[in-house]
Amino acid sequence: MRKIIKSAAAIAAVSAVALTGCGRQDSGSTSSASGAAGTFDKGSLIGVALPQKTSENWVLAEKVFNEDLTKAGYKTDVQFANGGVSEQQNQISSMITKGAKVIIVGAIDGKQLGTQLKQAKDAGITIIAYDRLIEATENVDYYVAFDNFKVGELQGQALLEGLKKKGSGPYNIELLAGSPDDANSKRFFDGAMSVLQPAIDKGEVKIPSGQKEFSQVVTQGWKAENAQKRFDTILSGNYSSAKLDGVLSPNDTLARAVLTSVKSAGKPNPVITGQDSEVESVKLIMKGDQYSTISKDTRALVGQAVTMVNDLQSKGKAVTNDDKSYNNGKKVVPAFLLKPIIVTRENAAEVYKNDATLAPLTK
């Protein structure tokens, strides 16, 4: 029986691919979610499983998901999993039991949802990975995110640019990455290293701690206190006489943790990168204490996820614009990627001009 169902899904997938060939649109291609549910009623339940509140973007996502999905006519169940992975697993199971038609997941640990997503698939539910890729399972249908490798590239470029503005090298820098259970962390790091490694190889940039590998520079749980502790140790062990010129930080929360550590060591601020356009970091950028951040408009990302839900509701499939970059170890997950923007003091007013919270900070 299972076999028959599977091959029916395969035929559906093949015909959807065939259709894609003729119906290609400018904004992307339509791709089928193999084995995904067909269309469903507008008033259906949509589940949204968010991770911990490790940055402001997640808090805003909760609000915008509730608003946008309700406005579009759905019932919503939007949950944070501050208690960790097992809480998120339970929340997803409960969304399945309640009859959700689509579950949007911002995973805490992208590799720990296999059992729940198999149950979701068996119940005909479509799974959209939101912001963070879900790994090691076939049962994820779509991915919607900002281009994570590009985020890292922009951070690496900003760091080099900021260092050059400060004077000539060689420069001493330290590296910092996000939580190893979040699939984004390695992508951000790889993107940044694609820019920084050539400068390291040429000797223009040095890493006095010697901590260069992803596994040595990660920050468990994206927690500020973990980054701060690591930098306290790095500074006391390697910078008693050396100057710290720059830090690659994967996001704003961790950038501020590093700046706290630097301050308590009585050192001047290094050129430091960030991500998320958090209020406190935008203030620091305008003061010249943080060099850069990344603008990833949460409203646009949630908006894109809701567009996918609407397409699934009415057509049974969603539009994607990248069907090759996100291999999760079991399949290439069709993705819709949005473009991140680098922000420094120079372009902050322009980038945030339509943001009611951030625009006033840039005046």
Nearest approach, Cβ of 146 to ligand BGC (angstroms)? 7
> Of all helices (H) and strands (E), which one includes residue 26?
none
How deeply is 28 buried, as exposed, middle or buried, from its count of CB atoms within 10 A (0-12, 13-18, 19+)? middle
Q: Binding segment for ligand BGC among 29-37, 52-60, 194-202, 203-211 (CB under 6 A)?
A: 52-60
How deeply is 84 buried, as exposed, middle or buried, from its count of CB atoms within 10 A (0-12, 13-18, 19+)? middle
In the bound state with ligand BGC, the residue whose beta carbon lies nearer, of 251 and 313, is 251
Assess 251 for contact with ligand BGC (CB under 6 A).
yes
Nearest approach, Cβ of 144 to ligand BGC (angstroms)? 12
* Residue from the set 30, 31, 34, 55 that interacts with ligand BGC by CB under 6 A: 55
* Residue from the set 174, 245, 276, 297 that interacts with ligand BGC by CB under 6 A: 276
Assess 189 for contact with ligand BGC (CB under 6 A).
no
Assess 182 for contact with ligand BGC (CB under 6 A).
yes
Handedness of CA 47, 49, 53, 56 (dihedral sign): negative
Q: Which of 28, 33, 40, 39 is nearest to 13 (CA)?
A: 33
Assess 275 for contact with ligand BGC (CB under 6 A).
yes
Q: What does the alpha-carbon distance between residue 79 and residue 97 come to, in Å, rounded to a whole number?
A: 15
Assess 132 for contact with ligand BGC (CB under 6 A).
yes
What angle in degrees, to the nearest 10, is found between the helix axes of 279-287 and 252-264?
A: 50
Nearest approach, Cβ of 276 to ligand BGC (angstroms)? 5
329: Cβ–Cβ under 8 A, 6 or more apart, which residues?
135, 136
Q: What does the alpha-carbon distance between residue 302 and residue 44 come to, in Å, rounded to a whole number?
A: 18
Assess 57 for contact with ligand BGC (CB under 6 A).
yes
In the bound state with ligand BGC, the residue whose beta carbon lies nearer, of 183 and 262, is 183
170 cis-preceded (ω within 30 degrees of 0): yes
* Residue from the set 184, 292, 293, 328 that interacts with ligand BGC by CB under 6 A: 184
Cβ distance 250 to 189 under 8 Å?
A: yes
In the bound state with ligand BGC, the residue whose beta carbon lies nearer, of 174 and 276, is 276
Binding mask 291-330 for ligand BGC (x = CB under 6 A): ----------------------------------------
Assess 62 for contact with ligand BGC (CB under 6 A).
no
Q: Which of 157, 226, 235 is nearest to 198 (CA)?
A: 157
Q: Binding segment for ligand BGC among 49-57, 111-119, 241-249, 317-325 (CB under 6 A)?
A: 49-57
